[in-house]
Amino acid sequence: MPLFLSALPVLAVIAALLAGARSLHAALAGVVLAVLGIAVAFPLSAQEALGATKIWLPVLIEVLLIVGGGLLLSEVLRAAGAQKALAQWILGQTGNGVGAVLLVVHGVTPFAESLTGFGIGITIGIPLLIHCGLPARKVAVIGLLGLCAVPWGSMGPGTLIAATMAGLPLDDLGLASAYVSVIPFVLTGVVAAWLASAPGERFSAVLQGIFSGLVLTVAVSFFNATVGTAPAGALGALVVIVMFLMRGRFSQRAATSTSSHEPRVALEPVGQRGLLAYAVLLAGVLITGVIVKALKLPAATHMLASPALWLFVAAAFFARGVPSGDSLQRAGRSWSQVAPVTGMFIVLGVLMAVSGMATQLAHALAAGGRWYLFAAPFVGALGGFVTGSNTGANAMFAATQAEIAQALGVSVLPFMAVHNVSAALLLMGSPGKIEMACHLAPAEALAHRAWIQRAVLTTDLAAVTVMALLNVLIL
């Protein structure tokens, strides 16, 4: 009975989504069943409930503020034409549709996500993709594929949780996770390039996708090994950005060698201001983060370095004050659709984690002995799907996964690296992220919500399957 009750919320969510139910309704069903399971078989004391609330309520509020700030910044940039100007400049610099798409998937989105987290990278990536001439549903899918470097999202708190719970050094787990990430990096590059290319150009496009994924793998691994896990994702993505911009510049020079007087594509003033707004966001997060750590300020000052603050600051900077009423209304409407879904899934993950339901599920799967090596990545991926967060997934399953690895007598570090990457991967297909992507993409994307989710989940599950086979082969 306890096992059935612990699995019921997750099974209900999956069944509801497959049946075409709205994400919010699926999340509510999962939360209700989790509460029922807690009442029947997983009782929580008042002290335990209060302790969990103190820990997770600030996290929940921060996540919802980050989502709101990201949507507002995206809206004020869109309304002013800054996103269009930036997209045109990027397209002008890269000179290639596939190159522009890969720049976003392996460069812009991972860079932004590494500094902000919680899926906010797509609020920067998707608006750029809109101007690549792709159908709305492909824009949403490719935009979500950019969430391929989430173990380093928000400077890596999810990876830190996994390392702490498993008793591993953070940088060791970060480096091992970078090696394993070659699978999702290459696969997302291949799928994005395939979707962005014409039928007769797909072979060369796929090769570009493979190369881009390999470059990101090498760059993130290098920075993990040299400067540490926290900034590795941002620095690795920056290498990819520079690579594609330089390639575009060289291509332009070759194409205009006989006509040297052809003017270069210049970034319009509104685009320059948009770029400055992103710089304010990223510099604010980085600099205040360094100051808070260096001065060892109390935990209450954490918000000073949070994207939850700096996204709103960046929006105000761009708008030269309070954003217009129309922008606030549009962002508010999108937030009212996205935030409840995101919040409900976080609540579901927390309920399952603090009650022991998640542990019950993992131990049941571990009863199959070494066959669990194949199942383990799917457990991590399930956590990412349910919570929409690498941090939430690791909070649910990391400690139990490490315990099971030790019980099976396998090396904990590679086992947890596979878990960490898997736990991050499926969040791009989580209902909250799908909802956000559909609202950021052109309006037609909303009518293709189910197709978008299937496309992303198919890609994710293919990567998780490869990592499951890797687990079996190397452990």
- The tens digit of pLDDT for each residue in 319-369 reads 999 999 899 999 899 888 878 887 888 888 788 888 888 888 778 877 878
> In which residue are the tokens 């991590």 written?
380
Whether the CA torsion 203, 209, 211, 213 is positive or negative: it is: negative
Both tokens of 132, joined, read 């690549």
Query: Is residue 259 situated within a structural domain?
Result: no
How many C-beta atoms lie closer than 10 Å to residue 6's C-beta? 25
* Stronger pLDDT, 346 or 375, i.e. the higher one: 375
Nearest to 26 by CA among 325, 453, 390: 453
Residue 282 one-letter amino acid: L
**In terms of C-beta distances under 8 Å and separation of at least 24 residues, what long-range contacts does 48-51 make, across chains too?**
48/354, 49/354
The contacts of residue 76 (CB under 8 Å, 6+ apart) are 315, 318, 319, 323, 324, 327, 331
User: For 428, which DSSP code?
Assistant: G
* Inter-residue contact 421 to 379 (CB < 8 Å): no
CA gap 178, 354 in Å, rounded: 29
* Inter-residue contact 244 to 107 (CB < 8 Å): yes
What are residue 138's phi and psi, to 5 degrees? -70, -35
Whether the CA torsion 169, 172, 307, 26 is positive or negative: it is: negative
* Inter-residue contact 126 to 139 (CB < 8 Å): yes
CA gap 404, 373 in Å, rounded: 10
> In which residue are the tokens 């989105």 written?
109
95 pLDDT more than 80: no
* Inter-residue contact 429 to 457 (CB < 8 Å): yes
* Stronger pLDDT, 49 or 209, i.e. the higher one: 209
CA gap 435, 24 in Å, rounded: 10
Q: Is 243 exposed, middle or buried (0-12, 13-18, 19+ CB in 10 A)?
A: buried
Query: Is residue 33 situated within a structural domain?
Result: yes
- 413-440 per-position pLDDT tens digit: 999 999 999 999 998 998 889 988 999 9
* Inter-residue contact 304 to 287 (CB < 8 Å): no
Query: Is residue 427 situated within a structural domain?
Result: yes
pLDDT band at residue 296, thresholds of 50, 70 and 90? confident
pLDDT band at residue 17, thresholds of 50, 70 and 90? confident
Residue-level pLDDT at 431: 85
Residue-level pLDDT at 418: 96
How many C-beta atoms lie closer than 10 Å to residue 15's C-beta? 12
- For 163-178, what is the mean pLDDT? 92
Q: How many residues does the chain have?
A: 475
CA gap 116, 307 in Å, rounded: 5
Query: Is residue 50 situated within a structural domain?
Result: yes
Residue-level pLDDT at 253: 65
Query: Is residue 360 situated within a structural domain?
Result: yes
Using alpha carbons, list the distances in angstroms from residue 298 to 52, 285, 287, 301. 20, 17, 17, 6
The contacts of residue 331 (CB under 8 Å, 6+ apart) are 68, 71, 72, 74, 75, 76, 323
408 pLDDT more than 90: no
pLDDT band at residue 312, thresholds of 50, 70 and 90? very high
pTM: 0.80
CA gap 368, 353 in Å, rounded: 22
Residue-level pLDDT at 13: 84
Query: Is residue 245 situated within a structural domain?
Result: yes
Query: Is residue 324 situated within a structural domain?
Result: yes
- For 155-179, what is the mean pLDDT? 90
* Inter-residue contact 280 to 286 (CB < 8 Å): no
- 256-295 per-position pLDDT tens digit: 555 554 556 678 899 899 889 988 887 888 788 888 888 8
CA gap 475, 464 in Å, rounded: 16
**In terms of C-beta distances under 8 Å and separation of at least 24 residues, what long-range contacts does 46-50 make, across chains too?**
48/354, 49/354
* Least confident interval from 14-23, 129-138, 229-238: 14-23
Tell me which residue range forms the domain holding 142.
2-254+265-474
* Inter-residue contact 114 to 237 (CB < 8 Å): yes
Q: Radius of gyration over alpha carbons of the chain, in Å?
A: 22
Query: Is residue 260 situated within a structural domain?
Result: no
CA gap 387, 102 in Å, rounded: 27
Look at residue 305 and give its three-state secondary structure.
helix
Split into its structural domains, the chain has a count of: 1
